[in-house]
Amino acid sequence: MIKKNLHIWDRLARGLIGIFVISFVLFNNGMIEDDIIAGLLIFFGVLNLISLATGWCPVYSIAGISSRPKEK
Amino acid sequence: MSTLFDLQLDRSLRRKLILICLSVAVIVSIIYSVVAFRLSSEMGINTEISYLEKRSLFLLAEIEEEGDAAQLRIKELIRMMQHAEGDGPQPIYVEVLGHHDRWQLNTDIPGQTLDIIKNEIQQKQVAGKNSGFIKYQDEYFLWSAQNLDNNAILMVIVSNSINDSMSHIAKRLAITSAVVFWIAVWLALTLSSWIAKRVEDKNEALRRLASHDSLTGLPNRLYLVDLLQTQQKHAEKSVKGTLLTIDLDKFKEINDTLGHSAGDKLLVIFAQNLAQVLSPEQTLFRSSGDEFLIWAPDISAEGCEAFAAQIVESLQQPICMNELPIHLEASIGIALCPEHSSDIDTLLISADIAMHEAKKLRSKWALFNKSHANDEKGQQTLRYRSELSEALAEQQIKLFYQPKVNLTSGKIVAAEALARWQHPVDGMLPPLLFIPLIEQSGKVREFGRYVIRHAIKQLSIWKTQGIMVPVAVNLSPYNLLDPDIVSYTQELCEKADIPPNMLEIELTETATSLHLHTISASLNRFKEIGVSISIDDFGTGMSSLAYISNLNVDTIKIDRSFISDIETNSSNLSIVTSALNLAKAFNCTVVAEGVENLEQATLLNKLGCHYGQGYYYSAPVPADKFTALLKFTPTLPVS
């Protein structure tokens, strides 16, 4: 079971960044012209969207940190 | 002083870390972009230049071959080259210097610009270059000058493709560096949070290590002191509550019988049982070995004894250990805050004193007696107790020496070392004022070793001065429970090169009757290494005479109370006489304590007591005075 580790603001910010990045890749008007960079951007965008959807960040969980307020 | 609770990570560390990591990220991104841009534009220009060089060499070869028709041929070739570029005709300038002719071709480069460019090319040619680029008015002019036999060619082209590729590189770099920057920032945030968290965890672990007992997991005395100090700092009113010191009775015996691991288990179970009695506001601490503390902020003077009774009640249940039911008994000392004291150290000592009171009275619990503490003596006791550690650390406790004299010859045969506290404020304190405090405060062992150490030191000083006089030290039987005391003494003697038979141990009779079995082992080991044993204050103890033979002592010291009126009190005289007979039977020497005048000395000598000690000969004196005594009057007057 994935344990949520993102604060709601963290989650929203990631969501916005994800949407922005993916739409930039899709509608960049030929600015990128590089499949690797486009792939990288898509990858990060999707990662951010996953964070938005699940409230979980893989790197946070590797580093063992959490921006989520502690439940008491 | 910062308390343990302040040991939390200071918040700015996290912020500082984030800031540092972010600036590193920014710097790395900038360096990356600049270097990448420079590198790729340089590579683009170099490719263009080498392409131009090849073209000019090719044209030069054509000139060689064509001879007179070269001009036409070259012009056509250049036209073809311009068409091949695709992006419309490229401005070009060609200058040919041959042995047949000399001609120029210029398409679309303004004459003025060309002059400036040619001027610069000449300068560079003088510097030994034959190709390169010149940036002039936002345009890149690439040039190549080649020589072959008698022909020379100079080609200058305006490169549009460089500007194009530059903007292309810049665009791509902008996106790449945005991605790099993003990763770097993200990494910086994660890394700084991670480091901060690690530091926080380590701090927490350290804090726990310092403030908790590893066996029971309970907070320790330090934590209590800290807790109360923090509460006092933050509370507007003074902190209220009850402090209880709980000491297990005879825990040492349990430990000795069942072994230390069982003892440890027992302590853990005891702590768990105790914790169950407590309400959530109350806290249990383990202060040392078998001593626990309870801080109960919700209990006041009225309820404290009932609370103590409740704790005692809870201990009634036997604890099963190795299938043996063990009944634990505890003595509880109660001190109230702020009634008894608001100072934590004093409060702890008060509870401790009350606990010892309870132990002494066998009353299970005792409330600290403030009226007793309030008088001058009580205050003094409290103060002295708190100053003991410092006194030992700063060596304020000195050894004074009183001679033991041969009653026949007056010769000083030995010395007894007596402790005096050189108090920085109150001056010299007699042992009566501080020895009981040492016994109460659990410093007996430390103090015993302190005395032995200093006596051996003095022996070694005397040895260097050529004086050889045995020294007797007073030890508590609790010192003999210290398992390493003999080896400690032996080691010190060896280090100072003092034969152990220069050391004598004096035990008070009352004390010796306790733990007879346990201490006789230690005493025998002392005897084995050559230390002699004497019984102090003989005749005042409550024990039977049997132990004299059991303990195998060398000397009996008859208590001063029998000597002080020996000339007039016939019953005391008979006691002394029988003690002398007893000593003879057991082959011990006898020392009479408290000899105060010549009559006593003469009488004792007549009775067959050969050694005496007392004010008649000398009061206990500091080491330097005793040294003088030994040097100048080693034989004291006997008549």
Q: What digits encode the pLDDT tens for the residues B90-118?
A: 788 888 887 667 788 887 778 888 888 88
**Phi, psi of A52, deg, nearest 5:** -60, -45
Q: What is the pLDDT of residues B573-632, one digit of tens each?
A: 898 898 888 888 888 889 999 888 888 888 888 888 889 999 888 889 999 999 988 888
Strand locations in B174-326 (E)? 241-248, 283-288, 291-296, 319-321, 324-326
B602 burial class (0-12, 13-18, 19+ CB within 10 angstroms)?
Answer: middle
Q: Are the Cβ atoms of A64 and B190 closer than 8 angstroms?
A: no
* Least CB–CB distance from A32: residue in B175, B193, B194: B175
Residue B363's contacts (CB-CB under 8 Å, 6 or more residues apart) are B357
In B, which residues are within 8 Å of A31 by CB distance? 171, 175
Q: Is the dihedral of CA B542, B591, B535, B395 positive or negative?
A: positive
Q: Which amino acid is at B32?
A: Y
Q: Decide: helix, strand or coil at residue B91.
A: coil
Which letter, b or e, does each residue of B433-445 get, where b requires 16 or more Cβ atoms within 10 Å of its Cβ? ebbebbebbebbb
* Least CB–CB distance from A40: residue in B179, B191, B197: B179
Quote the radius of gyration of chain B (alpha carbons, Å): 49
Instruction: Answer whether residue A54 is part of any domain.
Output: yes
Q: What is the pLDDT of residues B257-309, one digit of tens each?
A: 777 888 888 888 888 888 888 888 888 999 888 889 999 888 888 888 888 88
Q: What is the pLDDT of residues A48-67, one digit of tens each?
A: 888 888 888 877 777 667 77
Element (H, E) at A21: helix A8-26
Average pLDDT across chain B, whole number = 82
Please report the number of interchain residue pairs, chain A to chain B, with beta-carbon separation below 8 angstroms: 31
Which residue is closest to B187 within chain A, CA to CA? Answer: A59
Angle (deg, nearest 10), helices B221-234 and B344-361: 130
In B, which residues are within 8 Å of A32 by CB distance? 172, 175
**B176 has a chain A CB within 8 A of its CB:** yes
Comparison of pLDDT for B290 and B70, the residue scoring more: B290
Cα distance between residue A46 and residue A17, in whole Å: 10
- The distance between the two most distant Cα atoms of chain A, rounded to a whole number of Å, is 51
Residue with tokens 């679309």: B108
Residue with tokens 């007797």: B472
CATH topology of domain B12-166: Beta-Lactamase (3.30.450)
Q: What is the pLDDT of residues B363-375, one digit of tens each?
A: 788 888 776 655 6
In A, which residues are within 8 Å of B175 by CB distance? 31-32, 34, 37, 41
Residue B461's contacts (CB-CB under 8 Å, 6 or more residues apart) are B623
β-pairing, B131-136 with B291-296? unpaired
Instruction: Answer whether residue A1 is part of any domain.
Output: no
Residue B547 has pLDDT above 70, yes or no: no
Q: What pLDDT, on the 0 to 100 scale, is given for residue B176? A: 78
Instruction: Answer whether residue A17 is part of any domain.
Output: yes
Which residue is closest to A67 within chain B, CA to CA? Answer: B193
Superfamily classification of domain B221-374: Reverse transcriptase/Diguanylate cyclase domain (3.30.70.270)
* Least CB–CB distance from B190: residue in A33, A34, A59: A59
Question: In chain B, where does the domain assigned CATH 3.20.20.450 lie?
Answer: 393-556+619-632
Q: Are the Cβ atoms of A59 and B186 closer than 8 angstroms?
A: yes
Which of B514, B433, B443, B507 is closest to B474 using CA atoms?
Answer: B507
Instruction: Answer whether residue A46 is part of any domain.
Output: yes
Q: Are the Cβ atoms of A37 and B197 closer than 8 angstroms?
A: no
Alpha helices of B516-634 — where are they, by DSSP H? Answer: 516-529, 546-551, 560-563, 570-586, 598-607, 623-632
Q: What is the pLDDT of residues B244-255, one digit of tens each?
A: 999 888 787 777
* Least CB–CB distance from B171: residue in A31, A41, A59: A31
Q: Are the Cβ atoms of B182 and A44 closer than 8 angstroms?
A: yes
Q: Which domain holds residue A53?
A: 8-63
CATH architecture of B393-556+619-632: Alpha-Beta Barrel (3.20)
Instruction: Answer whether residue A71 is part of any domain.
Output: no
Does ipTM exceed 0.85?
Answer: no
Q: What is the pLDDT of residues B510-538, one digit of tens each?
A: 544 455 666 778 888 888 899 988 888 88
Cα distance between residue B279 and residue B285, in whole Å: 14
Structural domain count, chain A: 1
How distant, in Å, are the alpha carbons of A39, A44, B29, B176 from that of A35? 6, 14, 21, 12
Instruction: Answer whether residue A40 is part of any domain.
Output: yes
Query: Which of B175, B181, B185 to mutate: most A Cβ within 10 Å?
Result: B175
Q: Are the Cβ atoms of A63 and B175 closer than 8 angstroms?
A: no
